[in-house]
Amino acid sequence: MTQPLPTPPTAMVPPAADGFALRTQGLVKSYGARPALQGLDLAVPRGVVYGFLGPNGAGKTTLMRLLVGLIKPNAGRIEILGQPYTWRQRTRLHQVGSLVESPTFYDYLSGRDNLRVLAASGARVPASRVDEVLALVGLAERGRDKAGRYSLGMKQRLGIAAALLSDPQLLLLDEPANGLDPGGIVAMRETLRHLTRQGKTVFVSSHILPEVQQLADVVGIVNGGRLIREGRLADLLSEGGHVSARVAEAELPASMAALAGFGAPIQARPADQPGQAVIDVRIGPERAAEVNRALAAAGVYASDISSGSDLESVFLSLTATAPTTTGAPGDGWGERA
Amino acid sequence: MALLSVALLKLVRRPATWIVFAILAGLIALVFISLGATAGSMESMGDELQIRVLLDFPTAYTIVAGFVVGFGGLLAVAYGAAVIGADWAWGTIRAIVARGESRVRYTLVTFLAIALIVGLGVTFAFVIGIGSAILAAEMAGIGSSGATDADTLASLPGLLARTWLGVAQAAAVGFAIAMLFKSQLAGIGAGLAFYFAEQFLQLVPALRDVLIYFPFSVSSAVVATTDAFDPDTSFGNFPVLDADTAVVWSIGYLVVALAVACLAAWRAQITQ
């Protein structure tokens, strides 16, 4: 595995001048008979925040584990910072910082000592770096407290500090906003932005779509172990969108029939008010007037029409995991491939 | 050195380390104080004689070492399994491997730290055991003048080193089992089950000649140099390896256990 990877056919992101920070080609991983990744092709340009999105069980955590050598792929290739990488080439990870799944620490050690433990493994880190990263994530004052006494958010911050220990060129973060309070999320966002301004690359795996929308430059969406879309966030948002109309429940069949002509995915869900329903049409927000006109032509008068374009709409339309039409408790958790 | 330093830090700060030390020293002190308190009140002359032999210095040094290996080996199996098993149970091994650390190096350094802590615990228990034995000998009216025998004192470092080896070998077995199972609970459970199975199988006379080569029998035999009982290298009614042969076997088991642990770490798919 000495040849550089060819450009993945699904990549829609032009490479940065100095190439890719991370690439995978045909990455396959199964747990027994259950496939987790089925030929994943990914291209992460250098110097960006890359949002890696997917529903539960899509293969996000499996990819993270593969990238840091926790598990071995069944097939496929990985390139990190322009160099081929296999799970035995562990020293390649010295330039990578990671927070994979939930952060784990020795509860009986202080936050500072936990970082010392990590700093002694892998890439050598100057002793002063421990205090630097503690200060960076706002834990300087609590660094001597036992990690077992930390809140979930503090543990998350300590996990991010651990990922930053070796001043990595590539940062892999799994749900970094998990447990953080609003102030912590803003601070994390600023920190990650600061890192990309230094030319570093941040790869964020998440299903918190609004957070990724605020953070990412480039987005990859995975479903069923395959990359189904990759591109610049701005491009994806310009393509995605929705128009929602609130109608009387009794007029739902007529409304659905009237809107079927748009040829776009349509879903209905109960509205807040009794006897009302909301119909979501996956079309661009500029077509709201057309929806209004189509409903009126069918003799249906919407009490409210709204439109928008967000990552959630794009994600839902691509992964087909929209909420159900019944709104019953427990609905909406299953995947609708 | 940095990795060893933090591995020691983890063990020294870990409450379980001090709890194990306290249990070991407490058990040994309890045994000897009980012996001292009951000597003189035994109905059977044979029992009385046995107790007096146990508390008679300088032989008592070897008896203390035997108790340290016996109780210490049992605790060490669980301790070795608990330390490496915790890395799997808590998921901390994930962060270490993800930093690009060598799995084999981490495994070996972690065991080295365990062995050093075991050495500290063995020394501590040995000192407590000797103190308790002297106290018990005085309580029993045997006296402890033999404790200062020059030749015996000169041989104590060697006896302590063999005791350490026996307990460290037991820890290595627990360590390897936990690494194989990638589980703290399974490691402790399987390690202790192995330990007790070996002890119970001693009750089957036909197996005794084979069992002397089993790991925990070997670890006990490294200090079984006493001639207090049967002179033909048997300990009570149970045959044991002679100490020098046992040392060779013990080192062999330790090396094999570490090789198994390293191989398991090297191959492991970390999904915890």
Mean pLDDT over the full length of chain A: 84
Q: What are phi and psi of A111, to 5 degrees?
A: -60, -40
Under DSSP, the state recorded for B98 is H
Which positions in chain A touch B182 (Cβ < 8 Å)? Answer: none
Query: Would the CA dihedral through B101, B104, B107, B113 be positive or negative?
Result: negative
Note whether residue A184 is domain-resident.
yes
Distances (CA, A) of B109 to A127, B6, B105, B116, B257: 20, 10, 6, 11, 14
Is B95–A96 a contact, with Cβ atoms under 8 angstroms apart?
no
- A176 and A147 share a domain? yes
B198 to chain A, any CB pair closer than 8 A? The answer is no
Please list, in sequence order, all residues whose beta carbon lies within 8 angstroms of the beta carbon of residue B63, skipping any fewer than 6 positions away: B54, B133, B226, B228
Is A108–B269 a contact, with Cβ atoms under 8 angstroms apart?
no
The answer to whether B51 and B39 have CB atoms below 8 angstroms apart is yes
List the single range of A183-192, A241-250, B18-27, B234-243 with lowest mean pLDDT: B234-243
Give residue A320's pLDDT band: very low, low, confident or very high (50, 70, 90).
Answer: low
pLDDT(A267) > 90: no
Query: Which domain CATH number covers A250?
Result: 3.30.70.120
Average pLDDT over residues B236-259: 88
Give the per-residue pLDDT at A5: 45
Note whether residue A7 is domain-resident.
no
Name the minimum distance, in Å, from the CA of B14 to any CA of chain A. 7
- A274 and A175 share a domain? no
- A146 and A69 share a domain? yes
Give residue A321's pLDDT band: very low, low, confident or very high (50, 70, 90).
Answer: low
Please list, in sequence order, all residues whose beta carbon lies within 8 angstroms of the beta carbon of residue B53, skipping any fewer than 6 positions away: B59, B228
The answer to whether B93 and B87 have CB atoms below 8 angstroms apart is yes
- A132 and A102 share a domain? yes
- A299 and A229 share a domain? no
Note whether residue A282 is domain-resident.
yes
Give the per-residue pLDDT at B94: 93
Higher pLDDT, A251 or B39: A251
Which positions in chain B touch A91 (Cβ < 8 Å)? Answer: 100
- Give the torsion through C-alpha atoms of A146, A147, A149, A154, to 10 deg: 130
- A21 and A79 share a domain? yes
Give residue A62's pLDDT band: very low, low, confident or very high (50, 70, 90).
Answer: very high
**Residues of chain B above pLDDT 90, percent:** 57
Name the minimum distance, in Å, from the CA of A80 to any CA of chain B. 13
A100 to chain B, any CB pair closer than 8 A? The answer is yes
Give the per-residue pLDDT at B75: 94
**Residues of chain A above pLDDT 70, percent:** 88
Query: Which domain CATH number covers A113?
Result: 3.40.50.300
**Interface test mutation site (partner B, options A83, A88, A92, A104, max chain B beta carbons within 10 A):** A104
Nearest to A93 by CA among B99, B97, B102: B99
Name the minimum distance, in Å, from the CA of A129 to any CA of chain B. 15
Give the per-residue pLDDT at B164: 96
Range of the domain at A251: 241-309
- A196 and A282 share a domain? no
pLDDT(A316) > 60: yes
Give the per-residue pLDDT at B235: 47
Give residue A325's pLDDT band: very low, low, confident or very high (50, 70, 90).
Answer: very low
pLDDT(A43) > 70: yes
User: Which of A90, A106, A120 faces B100 most closely, judged by CB atoms?
Assistant: A90
Is A117–B9 a contact, with Cβ atoms under 8 angstroms apart?
yes
Task: Report A:149-168 residues touching B (Cβ under 8 A).
Answer: 162, 165-166
Which positions in chain B touch A166 (Cβ < 8 Å)? Answer: 99
**Residues of chain A above pLDDT 90, percent:** 50
Higher pLDDT, A14 or B13: B13
Give residue A17's pLDDT band: very low, low, confident or very high (50, 70, 90).
Answer: very low
Give the per-residue pLDDT at A246: 94
Give residue B69's pLDDT band: very low, low, confident or very high (50, 70, 90).
Answer: very high
B8 to chain A, any CB pair closer than 8 A? The answer is no
User: Which of A68, A72, A109 faces B13 most closely, judged by CB atoms?
Assistant: A109
Note whether residue A81 is domain-resident.
yes
Give the per-residue pLDDT at B35: 87
Both tokens assigned to A306:
């709204």
Give residue B108's pLDDT band: very low, low, confident or very high (50, 70, 90).
Answer: very high
Is A121–B106 a contact, with Cβ atoms under 8 angstroms apart?
yes
Which class for A223: exposed (0-12), middle (13-18), buried (19 or more C-beta within 10 A)? buried
* pTM more than 0.90: no
Higher pLDDT, B47 or A90: A90
Note whether residue A90 is domain-resident.
yes
pLDDT(A222) > 80: yes
Note whether residue A337 is domain-resident.
no
- Strand A49-53 to A83-85 pairing: unpaired
Q: What is the pLDDT of residues B175-186, one digit of tens each?
A: 999 999 998 888
CA-based radius of gyration for chain B: 20
Q: What is the pLDDT of residues B196-214, one digit of tens each?
A: 898 888 888 888 888 889 9
Element containing residue A96 per DSSP (H, E)? strand A96-99
List the single range of A305-314, B109-118, B234-243 with lowest mean pLDDT: B234-243
List the single range of A72-81, A238-247, A257-266, B123-132 with lowest mean pLDDT: A238-247
Which positions in chain A touch B99 (Cβ < 8 Å)? Answer: 93-94, 98, 118, 121-123, 165-166
pLDDT(A327) > 80: no
Give the per-residue pLDDT at B142: 82
Give residue A130's pLDDT band: very low, low, confident or very high (50, 70, 90).
Answer: very high
Note whether residue A330 is domain-resident.
no
Distance CA B64, CA B252 (A): 25
Task: Count up the domains in chain A and report the number.
Answer: 2
Can you tell me whether residue B44 is helix, strand or coil? coil
Is B101–A122 a contact, with Cβ atoms under 8 angstroms apart?
yes
List the single range of A6-15, A159-168, A175-184, B127-136 with lowest mean pLDDT: A6-15
pLDDT(B157) > 90: yes
Q: Which of A216, A236, A256 is the last residue of a domain?
A: A236
Give the per-residue pLDDT at B225: 57
Residue of A nearest to B101 (CA): A122
- A166 and A260 share a domain? no
Note whether residue A326 is domain-resident.
no
Question: For chain B, what are the domain ranges?
Answer: 2-267
User: Which of B96, B102, B271 faces A71 most closely, judged by CB atoms?
Assistant: B271
Which positions in chain A touch B270 (Cβ < 8 Å)? Answer: 65, 70-71
Task: Tell me if the bond preceding B58 is cis, omega within 30° of 0.
Answer: yes
Give the per-residue pLDDT at B238: 66
The answer to whether B64 and B126 have CB atoms below 8 angstroms apart is yes
Average pLDDT over residues A35-55: 92
List the single range of A35-39, A274-278, B205-209 with lowest mean pLDDT: B205-209
Task: Report A:117-146 residues touching B (Cβ under 8 A).
Answer: 117-124
